[in-house]
Chain A
């Protein structure tokens, strides 16, 4: 029954002067190896929840358990070793003089032995496919490449949970797809528990489960395909309407009858082809 993350009745406010809670009675259970997407519009409390999981903020009430251990002042440092975070802006996360040094930074901080460190850096760069850039300076890298290096830095520390906080939002389309496929690989092949905070519908659609945060509360907890049926309401919870849904609406406006059930891109393409190319 113990999950990798268990949050019980968590409440938090940034300032005692705030009348409203910034996180309000959050209950959340995440299984080991799960990919959970957290969505919500700007200012809904998504990132605050991530901070609560990593012990970066102190709750007013409630409890957080990570890997069965209660988050307290004492357990904080041990728990943080189990959690890696990747943020939005790749430029703000680079600390090393070159790629290798950047990945090694966290390991040096933890006093890992030199030989072990080299092995871990090498392995991490292989996972993110940046082994050929080990000696490169950060300024010469694209946004997607920098973000891959940031992920390698997290991997080298061997956490159990990796939290991606809008990690694809500042990348160009190519970089964005690279990172999304890397997140998938980390979850499915490397076995990390993944939490991705995102506005990206492609990223959210790959998750096992999606929770929606609004006004500091969890207002929905469901499978991605179920959530995507909400059509235009998705805009209010910080996501885009999936493309096939948007096209459906446009076609409906023009009097075209389309099956009501949710269709992903492939099934929409197939449906349209069948209907147009019939006979």
Chain B
């Protein structure tokens, strides 16, 4: 279920005095089963790009092919239904979209809508609830009695119940405390690993990019300015600073050590990588001290 985008252009309110170009000649590929992070500032075109992935917007020029469905400026809205089954979207604060009487019914809503019987849909819903870590005891409760973190899980289970192959996450951890954030990111990682979901994550959290993504896209003023790996993007702190982007905590910390003369083979991205390199350096010196 790969994504192929070629020379995608999008202009808001095209042909009016308010016309505003949001995407310019964006071309990229997202591989099946990959974990892609999209970073960039507010207004860089990230959201406009995302909205093309399930046909909420259609290109002004250029094409995209998502899971075998080609979308061009001429594509009819009716033809987008097939696409939408493949791409699950989780927006910021998805819990705001809950509405059913019980958790189970809320999760089962989408599969019912896509033609499953009540029984099939509810079986699927129970399975998805388990997948996102909701205890079975809450399935018959009203979703509005749950904590914020659990409500968000219900909303996510509802998206998963459509059995999408691509999951698009737009700052999914906004507003959660650090523990909730970690649990949520670990849950997506599990889905990525176990269900082989292709994940596309829009985030400001560079730690998450370093810890989870294998592919990074950097957007600026409607253009794609980098298409690379976390390792490569974060190896150039100057370039990032020039584009007002941050570093993962580990890389920032290691850069400070490197400035003072600590010889790193390459700038580490995660705590484990940094600790491993430091342990090696410290052990070397330790031997000399005691020897």
Question: Which residues of A pack against B, CB within 8 Å?
Answer: 41-43, 88, 142-143, 166, 169-174, 199, 235-236, 238-240, 243, 246-247, 250-251, 253-256, 265, 269, 272-273, 275-279
Contacts and interface: CB of A to CB of B under 8 A. Distances in A.
B226 to A, nearest CB: 17
A121 B45 CA distance: 33
B206 to A, nearest CB: 7
B185 interface: no
B28 interface: no
B102 interface: no
A21 to B, nearest CB: 17
Interface residues of B, number: 39
26 contacts: A41-B177, A42-B147, A43-B147, A88-B175, A142-B41, A142-B43, A143-B42, A166-B175, A169-B174, A172-B41, A173-B206, A174-B244, A236-B179, A238-B178, A247-B275, A250-B271, A250-B274, A251-B279, A254-B279, A255-B279, A256-B278, A256-B283, A265-B256, A269-B257, A273-B260, A276-B282
Contacts of B174: 169-170
B176 interface: yes
Contacts of A278: 285, 289
B278 A272 contact: yes
B271 A276 contact: no
Nearest to B182: A235
A243 B272 contact: no
B279 A276 contact: no
A238 B261 contact: no
A174 B274 contact: no
Contacts of B289: 278
B204 interface: yes
Chain B interface main SS type:
helix
A247 B204 contact: no
B164 interface: no
B276 interface: yes
Interface in B245-291: 246, 249-250, 253, 256-257, 260-262, 271-272, 274-276, 278-279, 281-283, 285, 288-289
B13 to A, nearest CB: 14
A173 B204 contact: yes
Given A250-B271, A254-B275, A276-B282, A243 B180 contact: no
A247 B282 CA distance: 14
Contacts of A279: 285, 288
B44 to A, nearest CB: 10
Contact of A243 (B149, B249, B282): B249
Contacts of B275: 247, 250-251, 253-254
Contacts of A246: 271
Contact of A235 (B179, B261, B271, B283): B179
A210 to B, nearest CB: 15
B148 interface: yes
A82 B156 CA distance: 42
Give the 8 A-B residue pairs with the shortest CB-CB distance, closest first. Answer: A250-B275, A254-B279, A173-B246, A240-B178, A172-B204, A238-B177, A199-B177, A273-B260
Contacts of B271: 246-247, 250
Given A42-B147, A239-B178, A275-B285, A269 B42 contact: no
A243 B246 CA distance: 16
Contacts of B179: 41, 235-236, 238
